[in-house]
Amino acid sequence: MGRVLVILTLVTLFMWLALTNPLLQNAQAFIPSVTSTGKQLRWDLPIHLNLIGNPTNRSNLSEKSFFNAVVSSLRQWQKASGQVFSFDYWQGSDRKLYPTKVALDGVSTIFFASAAPEPIPQISPNVLGLTQVWYDNESGQIQEVDIILNDINFIFTDDPTDTSGYGSEQSTASRYRTHVFVQNVITHELGHVQGLSHSGGLQSSMLFMESPEQAYLGCDELAAALTIYSPRESQEKLGSVSGRISFQDGSPVYGAHVLAISQVRGTVLATALTDSKGKYAVRGLEPGNYYLMAEPFYAGPSALSTYFADINVKVCPGETPFNRKFLTQDDSHVLTQLSVSPNHSTTAPPLVVQCRPADETLASVPNSSILKRGIVPEIHLNPNQQQNFGIVEQLDFTEEQVFKISGVSGNLQIYVLAYSIYSPIRASLVLYDSEGLEVRLRKLDPSYTGDSGFINYDSSIEANDLPDGTYFLKISSTRLRPYQYPAGPIALDSTPYVVLLGTSTHASLSRPSLVSYFPENARCRLPDDSSPYQSPTSQPPSPSLKQSGSGIGFCSSSPSGGTSHALRSSNTYLRLANIFSWALPWLFIFGVALVRLVHKRSFALSRLRTTMGSAILKIWQECWQKLQFVYLGFLHFLYTLRHHITPHRQKLRKKAFS
């Protein structure tokens, strides 16, 4: 009898674990939306999206403006995918043909919240847009989408300078803004349609807060779209960098945001997120040299799929995040250069982050007190070949910094990054020769200015046909205000620092090799496609309520009100898993009752053969009653701990997620 009970218990435990055990996390390039088991959400190739729009709104936004914004955003994602993504777009105000509801009905829609037949409870006052994604839970295949724009709490316009967030000269530290450029939100929400989650990149369209210039894809989105959807021949032109990030005690950092800075472009080209083992893979990289920086994902797990719910950036004493850290040579100021080749993954050395000492704010860039010592730091170059250098240096808000560059000959190009990596300053460069005369050169300062008023305050200089000799680079800094950064004060460092990237060569200076994929500007902004678009002459697809929903997951809001990338399923397998998880305790009781019944009958026969039958039966019953409560209690405990499938909703928020 004991053997039977042990077998029943083991079978029960095995079934429970098999039905509820999630898969291990995988290193993530960019930041994708994923299912509860880590499957990345994506469309099957080739992608063709039939999108139906209804322009009815309270913002007095014209039908033409809405139409142009949707088409412009769709075209950007189409080009980013290498033309693998195609679309047809219909627009009209008849709700029978152009529905304004969220439903698994065979059609994908985009509409304003005020036009919905009934209030959408997930639309809260700080949610600008919401994307409902329906997908297969086993494969992550996206089936259809619904996009809702919150014109109840915000006023959507066709003015690119309108923003509810930070990041432009129009932004302020105190005034609440309700006017928002509609294309900012549409381009962002279409990123969720592509299977992307929120990003921490300052110039990313998928940034976790609404900000100016989000109407146009950034470098990170282009790298993501190429990685997920582009044809094989395009992907073979790209490379990647992988590695591991840990704390000083060797434990992994889960949720570190990794930035790959391009030497030839002087900008962050792509990002990634570390998994539970501290591993990362930055994919979709143009061949060339790169430098790495790691920082906390400041938006926290609420901005990501529930799969990443265990991310905790506040792991240091006082519940503070770990410091930004650059991959350097022997913890010096010299950055480690990583070479990326086409169709190849480069393994980076381990990167160790640390917590912030009480008297420092950026432990990875210690103050060298160079100016106080009167020593000018020197960069040595070999005049006989092309030389690249990368340095990270802490600055002062008021004093200037000077670098001595020896071995310069021919052409010299230098980038300085500060603003785009959340340093609180604007850095400018001036080059002098050995006699103290200013060198004539080409300067790009700032590095990017957008239609929205967004300014990337990084800068660069380029000098040609320089005589052999020694030169001096002066860096001056100006303090910037928190509201001038797209994420505001959330991710802004309090210590001023810069990254200097330079190239010296007798030959022509290198240029980016994949400008057809990543345009040659600091944001990788694609050229505008202003050609007219004509919707199909046929009527849009009709909603079909006969969709069974079998195998379909969907996104809805979490009870906390934050963004939760999790899964509620009507998938056959997972539905059965839920049923079995609920039924296991009752199946166990039924099994025990059946065993007892059989045992009683066999024991009744044995009573005819022994005078001790009654005593044995009584002892067995007392022991079994105790064991039964123990087993049932244990199974109930397992049941309450089983993996629940929770709602999921992609949200673009005005303010930080809580």
DSSP assignments along 391-407, one per residue: EEEE--SSS-EEEEEEE
Q: How confident is the model at residue 596 (pLDDT cuts 50, 70, 90)?
A: low
The answer on pLDDT for 398 being more than 90 is no
- Give residue 109's pLDDT: 97
- Give residue 108's pLDDT: 96
The answer on pLDDT for 655 being more than 50 is no
251 lies in some domain: yes
165 lies in some domain: yes
The answer on pLDDT for 32 being more than 70 is yes
The answer on pLDDT for 504 being more than 50 is yes
Per-residue pLDDT, averaged over 101-124, amounts to: 91
Token pair recorded at residue 202: 């300052």
Shared-domain flag, residues 463 and 393: yes
Per-residue pLDDT, averaged over 575-589, amounts to: 47
The answer on pLDDT for 650 being more than 70 is no
* Mean pLDDT over the full length of the chain: 80
> Distances from the Cα of 532 to the Cαs of 48, 75, 529, 535, in angstroms?
20, 11, 9, 10
The answer on pLDDT for 658 being more than 80 is no
CA dihedral 395, 397, 403, 409 (to 10 degrees): 110
- Give residue 587's pLDDT: 60
Most confident option among 177-181, 357-361, 440-444, 627-631: 440-444
Higher pLDDT, 648 or 1: 1
Shared-domain flag, residues 169 and 144: yes
The answer on pLDDT for 219 being more than 90 is yes
Per-residue pLDDT, averaged over 60-68, amounts to: 97
Diameter of the chain measured on Cα atoms: 117
Shared-domain flag, residues 183 and 93: yes
Taking the C-alpha atoms of residue 569 and residue 550, their distance in angstroms, rounded to an integer, is: 9
Number of domains in the chain: 4
Shared-domain flag, residues 350 and 324: yes
Last residue of a domain, one of 358, 390, 418: 358
Q: How confident is the model at residue 348 (pLDDT cuts 50, 70, 90)?
A: very high
> Distances from the Cα of 153 to the Cαs of 112, 129, 244, 606, in angstroms?
11, 11, 43, 79
Shared-domain flag, residues 473 and 607: no
CATH at residue 436: 2.60.120.1050
- Give residue 126's pLDDT: 86
- Give residue 477's pLDDT: 93
281 lies in some domain: yes
Shared-domain flag, residues 108 and 166: yes
> Distances from the Cα of 377 to the Cαs of 373, 380, 495, in angstroms?
11, 10, 20
Higher pLDDT, 423 or 580: 423
Residue 602: give the domain boundaries: 2-18+574-641
Strand, helix or coil for residue 384: coil
- Give residue 559's pLDDT: 25
CATH at residue 255: 2.60.40.10
Shared-domain flag, residues 422 and 381: yes
Across 82-96, 187-201, 295-309, 351-365, least confident range: 351-365
Per-residue pLDDT, averaged over 144-159, amounts to: 96
- Give residue 102's pLDDT: 92
Q: How confident is the model at residue 66 (pLDDT cuts 50, 70, 90)?
A: very high
Taking the C-alpha atoms of residue 293 and residue 615, their distance in angstroms, rounded to an integer, is: 75
90 lies in some domain: yes
Q: How confident is the model at residue 204 (pLDDT cuts 50, 70, 90)?
A: very high
471 lies in some domain: yes
Higher pLDDT, 132 or 6: 132
Q: Which residues of 143-161 are buried (b: 16+ CB within 10 A; e: fewer)?
A: bbbbbbbbbbebbbbbebb
> Would you tell me how many other CB atoms lie within 10 Å of the CB of residue 315?
17
> Would you tell me how many other CB atoms lie within 10 Å of the CB of residue 385?
10
The burial class, CB within 10 Å (0-12 / 13-18 / 19+), for 368 is middle
Per-residue pLDDT, averaged over 390-404, amounts to: 89
> Distances from the Cα of 604 to the Cαs of 616, 617, 658, in angstroms?
11, 9, 65
Q: If we measure between CA atoms, which residue out of 638, 654, 181 comes closest to residue 450?
A: 181
For residue 42, which phi and psi values (nearest 5 degrees)? -165, 160
349 lies in some domain: yes
Per-residue pLDDT, averaged over 435-456, amounts to: 94
Q: What is the pTM of this model?
A: 0.79
Shared-domain flag, residues 118 and 255: no
170 lies in some domain: yes
Shared-domain flag, residues 50 and 165: yes
The burial class, CB within 10 Å (0-12 / 13-18 / 19+), for 645 is buried
Shared-domain flag, residues 386 and 461: yes
CATH at residue 79: 3.40.390.10
- Give residue 172's pLDDT: 60
Shared-domain flag, residues 93 and 226: yes
Per-residue pLDDT, averaged over 226-238, amounts to: 92
The answer on pLDDT for 116 being more than 80 is yes
Q: How confident is the model at residue 507 (pLDDT cuts 50, 70, 90)?
A: confident
621 lies in some domain: yes
Task: Collect all residues with Cβ–Cβ distance below 8 Å to 334 and sequence separation of at least 6.
Answer: 328, 389, 390, 391
Shared-domain flag, residues 180 and 316: no
> Would you tell me how many other CB atoms lie within 10 Å of the CB of residue 587?
15
- Give residue 378's pLDDT: 83
Question: What percentage of residues in the chain have a pLDDT greater than 70?
Answer: 74
Per-residue pLDDT, averaged over 126-146, amounts to: 92
Q: How confident is the model at residue 358 (pLDDT cuts 50, 70, 90)?
A: very low
- Give residue 642's pLDDT: 38
Last residue of a domain, one of 305, 330, 358: 358
Last residue of a domain, one of 338, 358, 378: 358
Q: How confident is the model at residue 285 (pLDDT cuts 50, 70, 90)?
A: very high
